[in-house]
Structure formats: C-alpha cells, structure tokens
Amino acid sequence: MECFVGIDLGSTTTKAVVMDDKGQVLGRGITNSRSNYDTAARVSKLEAFIDARLSLIRRELDKEPAVAGRVDEIIDGLTRNFRREQFIEQLGDLEQTCVANVEGPRFAGKEKAIVGALTEVFRRLREEEADKLFAPDAQRKSDFFRDLAGSRFMQIGEEVARANGVEFDHLLHMYDKSIIEVENRPPSADMNRKFRSAMERVRGEMSSALDTAALGAPIDAALDIEMSERYVVGTGYGRVRLPFPKEHIRSEILCHGLGAHLMYPKTRTVLDIGGQDTKGIQIDDKGIVVNFQMNDRCAAGTGRYLGYVADEMNMGLHELGPLAMKSTKSIRINSTCTVFAGAELRDRLALGDKREDILAGLHRAIMLRAMSIISRSGGITDQFTFTGGVAKNEAAVKELRQLVKENYGEVQINIDPDSIYTGALGASEFARRAVVEA
Amino acid sequence: MSAKTNPEVIKESSMVKQKGMIAGNYDRLTGTKESGEKVVSTFVPGNLNELIMCFDMVNNLPETNAIQNGMRKQSGGMIMDAEKAGHSEDVCTYVKADIGMMGRGNIAPNGKPMPAPDMLLLSYTGCFTFMKWFELLRHEYKCPTVMLQIPYQGDGKITKNMRDFVVKQLKEEVIPMFEQVSGVKFDIDRLREYLKNSAKAEDNLVWVLESAKNRPSPIDAYFGGVYYIGPMFTAFRGTTDAVEYYDLVRGEIEQRIREGKGPITPEGDMKEEKYRLVVEGPPNWTSFREFWKLFYDEGAVVVASSYTKVGGLYDQGFRHDPNDPLGTLADYCLGCYANNNLPQRVELLEKYMNEYQADGLLINSIKSCNSFSAGQLLMMREIEKRTGKPAAFIETDLVDPRYFSHANVKNRLESYFQMVDQKRSGASLATA
Ligand code: SF4
C-alpha cells in the first residue's frame, strides 16, 4: 500500500506521521532531534512505520471473531514485546560498540577485565532487565533507548565493577562513548522478524485466556501487506537540513494550520508554542492559512524560556507545570525576558515568594505574550486549537483558558493528546495531496 | 527616512555614475574646510535640495549617513555607544547611529571627518523624531536652526491654507536664514532652473518605477528601488547629474524590457518571477544583501513599495513646477508618504496591489521606527479585506543588527510564499 509521510524536525524532538491514500493516519513516531537531523528523521520515520504496522495488525484483528474484545490487549502485548525485541537488539549493538571502544593506552593491560565486566553487565541487562522493563504492567519512564538502557546500566555497572575489581569509571566511559553512536544508528528495519517473535511471546502470555492459534492468520496477513513510502514532506526548524528537494518542504506554519484543521475541522485559530517560537495562525474552513504572526527574534514567551526557567530552578521541564498548579497566590511577573529570567527568579525567591507562585506567574506571563501574538494575527474565533510542546503543560493551559475567556468569552478550546504531531500530520497531508490530488 | 544605494550590487553604467556622484558629494562635504563651502544638515523626506543649491551650500543627510554605516556594518557599535551615553533602546536607530558616529570622530565613508553643520534645516514631514533629533544636534553643534513646519495631512487633503503656511515660512524664515548663513542672495530664477532639472529627472524616475508593471518586472521596486530613487531623494535632485543619471537608467531598463529580463540582483539577473509583491515599510540595511537574497532566491520580486515614496510621491502625479517655485516646494513637502495619514497609505497600497497585479502585500515593520510602524497591522488587515490577497508581516530594524533575525525572517517569508501558492491553487488543494 502507498504511504505518505510527514516529518516535523523540531529543535528538541522529531516527529513523523504515516498516512494512507485516504488520509487515514496509520502511525506516529517520535525521537530526539539530537544534533543529527538525518538520523532523527530516519528514526522517527521508522517508529511511525512500526506504529503503522500495528494499525494494520489491528485492522486485521478487528475482523477476527475469535479475538473479539481482546484486541487492545493483544496490540498492547505486541507493542510491548516488539519494544522488548528492539531493546535487546539495540543492547546488542551497544555491547558490541562498547567492546570495540575498549582500546587505547588508558586501558592497556586491563582490556580483558573491562570486556569481561561489560559482557556481564549486558548479559544481565538482556536477561534480567528486558523482562522487567517490558513486563505487562511495568511502568516505563521513557521510550527512548538512551533513558531505558542508561539508568540500569549505571546501577548494574557499579555492582559488576565492584565484584570484578574493575573501575566503574572505565565502564561509564565506554557507555558514554558508545551510546551516541548507537543512538545515531537507526535500529535495523527488519520489522517482521521482531513482530513475529513478539507475537510468540504474546501467545505465551495470553495462552490460558485465548485461542492463540487465531492470532496467527490476521497478524500474518497484516505483516504481508507491503507498505511503500510514496511521498515525504518535511517541515520544522530542521527542514532545510533534510536531504529533500525544495518541493518536499513546507513551512511549519502551513503544516500546523493544516494539521489542526484535520484534527478539528471547525478550528479557525491555532496557537502553537514550540521550543523556538510562538505562532498565532488563522485558518479558513479548508485549513488554508490566511494569516499568521510569530514572536520576533526574541525567545521570550517560547518553550525555550521555560527551559531556562527549569534550568535556573534546577528542575525538569516537565515538573514546572505541576508545581505551578500548586500555587495559591497570584504573583505578577513583569518580564518574560530570557536574559533576565534568572535574575528575576532569584530576586523573587529572595523576597520570600514561593516557587510555585512564581512559576504560576511565569506561566501567565508567557500566555500573555502568546495572547498578544494571537490578537495581532486576528484574534480568536471559535474553535481555538492549542498545539506544541507547551500544550502538555497544565499550568500553561490553565492560564490560557482563563485569558481566552477574559478576552474572547466562551470559545471552544481544543487540545489533542497527539498535538505534538500536528505539524507532522499537516506535512503528511501535504505529501498525500501532492500525489493524490496532483 | 531615507534612501541610498547598495554598493557593489549592480554593475550597470548607471550604477557607476551614481557611485561617482555619491563619492563626489562626500568629498565635497568633507572638503568644506578647504573650499569654504557651508553645510546644511537636513532630512530626506521633504528635503529642499533645489533651494539649498541656490545658496551654494552642501547638503548633509544624517539618515543616509546612518544607512551607509549600516551597510558597512558600522552602525551596531555606534548604536551601542549612543545607548551607553543614555539613549533608550527603543528609539529610532538612525538617530543613535548618527549620535554614535559623532562620538567616533564623525568619519565619512571616504575616511575623512564630516564637517560640523553651519545650519540645521528641520522640516518635519510626518516624523516627530526629527524634532528631537535636531534638538540633540543643536545641543552638540550650537548652530542656527530653522524649522519648517509641515502640517500633517490629517484629513488626507492639502488645503490652500496649509500650502500658504509653508510658503510663508519659506519666505519669512527659511530663505532669510539661508541668506544669512551662506551670505548668498536668494535668486528665484536660479531656483526655477534647478526645479526644471528636477521635473525632468522625475519623469524618468516615474517611468522606471512604473516599468514594474511589466511581466516579468524588469526592476525590483524595493531592493533595487532604493538604488533608483537614491539621487532623487538625496543631495542630487535639481542637478544635471541627476538628469543624466535617470536618462541612463531609463535606457538600461528599456533594454531589459526588450530582452524580457527580470531585475538585476546581486547574483545576476533574477531567473523566474514567481511572486509579485507590494512591500510597505523601510528595508533592513545591516543585512541588506541577505535580506534581499531571501526574496530573489524564492523568485519574489517587489513590484511596488511605499518606502521608495518617502521622498516624494512622484508616481501619483506630483512634479516640481518651475512656474510656481515656492508653492511647488510646499506641495512637495506636504505630499511625502510619511506625511500621509493612514487611509491615504491604505489607499495607495491598494492601488499598487491592483495596478501592479501583485500576489500579496508584505509589511516590514521596523522595530525602532514608530512613525512608520504605527498602524501597520491595521493597514494590513484593510488591504487583505479589500483585495482578498494574502498579506504578511515581518519585523526587523533599520540599522540595528541586533534586530535582524535571519532564521525568523526566513521562516516567515517562506511560510508566506507558500501561503501565496496555497491561495493560488485554492480549490484544488482544499478538498481535505
Ligand atoms: S523614526 Fe522612522 S521616520 Fe522618523 S527618522 Fe526614524 S526612521 Fe525616519
């Protein structure tokens, strides 16, 4: 089947969406942008194709009476076990890379011991951790290999180093040196093998409760469908770095406009707060951009500003919103100037203000900037859609809702759980139209 | 507001001539100590070059100095100097570049120090920053200042009263002050001669600007436009040099039209004309070439701009009239773009959109120019409404390099051009 792909290369994450020729979204994938846009594009695309394959499997399973009512569970099991396969595959790559990196005068004479320790660490990661990480009800903090492998490597590495009389520093050094290489190498594209072995594990997990023989045919049918990538459109800050001809590139403003339209056909105003900039976009009833405004060169009020604040407070970006939600007192923050963010924060803290109250004030200040950009683009008309990374931040959303109400009255505000894919979605639709409607 | 050329961009013979004219003027300016000539500082919009020539004085335009410094990447440091000296961040960066330049020895582009002005001629057409600017200069130079008050076209009309008021000032204040400072007696016939030259050159300038109605347009009426208007808006209007210059340009453009060529860009002839734009607002000078490239790389040509009218709306019919020398000077000052009210500006842009068959309107809003920027968003909405064509808004500055963000401007322009594409293919794309 012909597939259309949109890739949104953001400054922090890269997203991909795979669509069929009817405009149905088949799959979504995301990865860190890192420094290498090429790889990020490839990885996110591969992830989206994996997700697309799962959609196809779901379609087939839905037709199979024997598994009725259990499809979600099966898909969940398949996903989990597929990830496990992927994890093990990448561990293998990481191990080889680590071992190959044991060289140089610093390690002279100790090579054997280090390699031995590494082998033991990876054995345990593979045999003990993989099962735990991907057990049916395991909570994973992240889906990125670096995060999954990293935290466990540290812990096991320390134990193994101690037991084997090897310096933990050496192991750490190998890991640091190798992880970037591995990360920048897209996992092998041999999906079907991984899906099949995932399927076997699902059968094992579910055998008592299900006629697992019924799984085989639909999954095989889905795996046999050939997905070919017909047309790709790139967008986002990294778009010019993609190896795309010019006609395969669309600005993120157009992609966000169209993406938001596909999610909510009645939306007329779109606010996108990304890592680099904030955009107010007006679209018509076809999703065509009729006007837009964005922040000037100043980063005030963009996602980056929240990043500075998080650094300054020694917190993770995702902790800011929840803490701000605890605020009980409203504090007015006057500047969203990134240059002064640190100083203003320190001043406020020195004055005895609480962190949560300061954070609530900061979120409001950012939303005030966003409101000004929106109003310059023509204001808010029903319906209004909020996209971009900051849409996940509940404190920001809370302030936005209040400001929209104060300024524009009752307006429907849409925030899609998949809003991070809005740009990629619009791009994939552009890709589809380039072929289907050309 | 002002206009000047972009060195090393276009290598036609008119360019060579213009370069020579500018260099000559700077040499004349920096040589006044030896020559004994007197210097008058004045502004570009509504400048009275023909009158100044009647008193054998040299005309110094601080805006063009700021632009020169901007294009030579000198203005950033000058602006910071001025800010250190206490001038606010948000004030017109021409002023700060000018003040910073003084602090650095007031060196002209030819490497020689600028003379102190013998007189300040303040005609404040539309921009009130002018008044404060010359207040600062007067404080510095302690020279006589004469003020020519130009009533703002608040109602969009020039009345007889307004005209008489300007003429009266010319007679009773400006000319006497010139006579006193220069020691030269005013001769109205001399003024008529210069005005005759002006009108001749103005005809050709209008012809050149209107050549953009062709497809493809043989000129770029914004980036290239600042080069075409240079002599007319600065120290040369009224001179035979200017007349010859515009003859030359006209010939060159006629040739381009015959050959079906697009405009000249810094990288040669523009290839395919994909977008025809009307632009409102001054250009960015510190990144002029980069800025321009963002347009011609995409096949965007500016077919009309308001900026090239800051020193006179000749294309709307005004010509200097030798038969009414003082009245015509009054009309000229009253009619500059910057002196027009918002409805007039909207009207003009709409007219350009239609007459030049533009695909859209682009506004370059200047961070530090309150005079031009006020009301621009409103104008944009109005044009969108009236023409149904897409408009876009970018933000840069005149000569402050800190306010030019290449990535930001590029992003907006690309989005805009794609928006124009999308609008064009309209229905066919819109079946989602
Ligand atoms: S404020 Fe604007 S119009 Fe006034 S002098 Fe400065 S640039 Fe020119």
User: Residue A296 C-alpha to ligand 1 middle, in angstroms?
Assistant: 20
Tell me the pLDDT tens digit for each residue of B85-120. Answer: 999 988 999 999 999 999 999 999 899 999 999 999
Tell me the pLDDT tens digit for each residue of A337-371. Answer: 666 677 778 888 888 888 889 888 888 888 988 99
Q: Give the pLDDT score at A35.
A: 66
**In sequence order, what are the beta bridge partners of A73?**
none
A288 lies in a domain?
A: yes
Q: How many domains does chain A have?
A: 2
Q: Which residues line ligand 1 (CB under 6 A)?
A: B 1, 92, 94, 127, 129-130, 338, 369-372, 398
Tokens describing residue A220:
């095989």
**Partner-chain contact A437 B429, CB within 8 Å:** yes
Mean residue pLDDT across chain B: 93
A148 lies in a domain?
A: yes
| Burial (CB count <10 Å: 0-12, 13-18, 19+), residue B387 | middle
Tell me the pLDDT tens digit for each residue of A297-348. Answer: 676 667 777 888 888 888 888 888 888 899 888 788 766 666 667 777 888 8
Range in A162-166, A342-346, B306-310, B362-366 with the lowest mean pLDDT: A342-346
Reported as type and span, the H/E element at residue B264 is: strand B264-265
Q: Give the pLDDT score at A239.
A: 73
Label residue B432 by pLDDT band (50, 70, 90).
Answer: very low
From A218's Cα to the closest Cα of chain B, the distance in A is: 31
Tell me the pLDDT tens digit for each residue of B161-211. Answer: 999 999 999 999 999 999 999 999 999 999 999 999 999 999 999 999 999
Is pLDDT above 90 for B260?
A: yes
Tokens describing residue A246:
């010019």
Q: What percent of chain B has pLDDT over 70?
A: 96
Reported as type and span, the H/E element at residue A7 is: strand A2-9
Q: Give the pLDDT score at B428.
A: 45
Helix spans in A264-334 (H) = 303-313, 317-325
A305 with A177, same domain? no
Range of the domain at A292: 265-424
Supply the CATH number for residue A286's domain.
Answer: 3.30.420.40
Tell me the pLDDT tens digit for each residue of A73-110. Answer: 889 999 999 989 988 999 999 999 999 888 888 888 88
- Local structure of residue B171 (DSSP, 8 states): I
Residue in chain B lying closest to A265 (CA)? B432
Is pLDDT above 80 for A240?
A: no
**Partner-chain contact A292 B414, CB within 8 Å:** no
- The CA–CA distances, whole Å, from B19 to A382, B292, B398 equal 56, 20, 22
Q: Give the pLDDT score at A6.
A: 96
Q: Which residues of A touch B423 (CB under 8 A)?
A: 288
A271 with A419, same domain? yes
Is pLDDT above 90 for B40?
A: yes
Q: Give the pLDDT score at A189.
A: 67
- Inter-residue contact B269 to B11 (CB < 8 Å): no
Label residue B52 by pLDDT band (50, 70, 90).
Answer: very high
The residue out of A151, A184, A217 marking a domain boundary is A184
Mean pLDDT of A4-13: 90
Q: Give the pLDDT score at B210.
A: 98
A287 with A417, same domain? yes
Tell me the pLDDT tens digit for each residue of A117-152. Answer: 999 999 999 888 888 888 888 877 777 788 888 888
Residue that wins the pLDDT comparison between B37 and A151: B37
Tokens describing residue A235:
């967008």
Tokens describing residue A60:
């087939």
A269 with A399, same domain? yes
A280 with A419, same domain? yes
A33 lies in a domain?
A: no
A304 lies in a domain?
A: yes
Quick check: bond before A65 cis, omega within 30? no
Mean residue pLDDT across chain A: 87
A170 with A313, same domain? no
Range in A207-216, B39-48, B70-79, B364-373 with the lowest mean pLDDT: A207-216
The residue out of A131, A156, A184 marking a domain boundary is A184
